[in-house]
Amino acid sequence: MRRIPESELIINSDGSVFHLHIRPEHLSDKIIMMGDMDRVKLTASYFDTIECEVQNREFRTITGIYKGKRITALSHGIGPDNIDIVVTELDALANINFETREVKSDFKQLTMVRVGTSGGLQPHCPIGSFVVSQRSIGFDGILNYYAGRDEISDLAFEKAFTEYVGWNPKHCAPYAVKADEGLVEQIGFDMIQGTTISAIGFYGPQGRQVRLPLANPELNAQIESFRQGNEMITNYEMESAPLAGFSRLMGHRAMTVCSIIANRLAGEANSNYKGSIEDLIQIVLERI
């Protein structure tokens, strides 16, 4: 059996994993994830009891009990590169023996629900609505570095999308991945379900122009008008695709649900979205 070298998986002197700084016993198999550290505190404020609280950099973790369920609330920071770190280390905490550095014989499946904010791209995704990423398209290219990428991707959707928008070959090759179908129904049965784009940045990569001109100013219009049958692109964010992709590769269950805080089509935004996020967190706590 392969022993994972220290350079491949760094374990801190206290037995915690390198970036998250949590030990295997700190982790529940039910995880609610979010970009903002303050939302971890907000989520944990609903816990009946708190077992542990750990923070390193942008990664804050609180594990506790909510109505008899042991849940870990975790902040992953912003961007797809952080998802590569977080999901890899969560999987290691669950499925690698930190003493022998070998994969455990008994696989432990994690359930991960990301609660985020997003910009809607369609009229039926107004500000204040909740949108589940039933499928996600990653513009980041991270999944392309891992074996098995094609086996878990929706290759037909990828092809149709890249051909329709005239994908620039200088960008990373997009990948399309579905969230866990059972989890989507469990959490989002009464919410809007659609296809989400995970961008590699917030401004230019999502078609926002501040001072720098865009390489393809028509890309968002092409994205909004794309259709495959009855399916369309519903919203933009930055993490749902790598979360879905890594989870499928590793055998975990994962999905993303976002509160829509802007509608790109209408050019509207709401920076006062705290109440909407609170409502969504409470729904996920009940249903996870």
Which pLDDT tens digit goes with each residue over 31-50? 999 999 999 999 999 999 99
Instruction: For residues 47-75, give the mean pLDDT.
Output: 98
pLDDT tens track for 258-277: 999 887 665 666 655 555 89
State the CATH number of the domain containing residue 162.
Answer: 3.40.50.1580
Q: Is residue 205 part of a domain?
A: yes
pTM: 0.94
Q: Is residue 133 part of a domain?
A: yes
Query: By percentage, how much of the chain surpasses pLDDT 90?
Result: 90
Q: Is residue 168 part of a domain?
A: yes
Contacts of 213 (CB under 8 A, 6+ apart): none
pLDDT value for 276 = 87
pLDDT value for 31 = 98
- Planar angle of CA 67, 70, 72, nearest 5 degrees: 120
Buried b (16+ CB within 10 A) or exposed e, 101-116: beeeeeeeebbbbbbb
Q: Is residue 10 part of a domain?
A: no
Instruction: For residues 97-111, give the mean pLDDT.
Output: 97
pLDDT value for 212 = 97
pLDDT at 216 over 70: yes
Q: Is residue 11 part of a domain?
A: no
pLDDT value for 171 = 94
Q: Is residue 1 part of a domain?
A: no
Angstrom distances, CA of residue 191 to CA of 233, 234, 276: 15, 12, 14
Q: Is residue 229 part of a domain?
A: yes
pLDDT value for 262 = 81
The total of other beta-carbon atoms located within 10 Å of residue 14's CB is 7
pLDDT at 209 over 90: yes
The model's confidence at residue 213, banded by pLDDT at 50, 70 and 90, is: very high
Mean pLDDT of the chain: 94
The Cα 177–Cα 234 span in angstroms is 15
Query: By percentage, how much of the chain surpasses pLDDT 70?
Result: 96
Specify the number of domains making up the chain: 1
Instruction: For residues 17-42, give the mean pLDDT.
Output: 97
The Cα 224–Cα 121 span in angstroms is 6
pLDDT value for 264 = 62
pLDDT tens track for 120-176: 999 889 889 999 999 999 999 999 999 999 999 999 999 999 999 999 999 999 999
Cβ proximity of 96 and 3 under 8 Å: no
Q: Is residue 15 part of a domain?
A: no
Question: Tokens 């432990």 belong to which residue?
Answer: 108
Q: Which domain holds residue 47?
A: 24-287
pLDDT value for 119 = 87
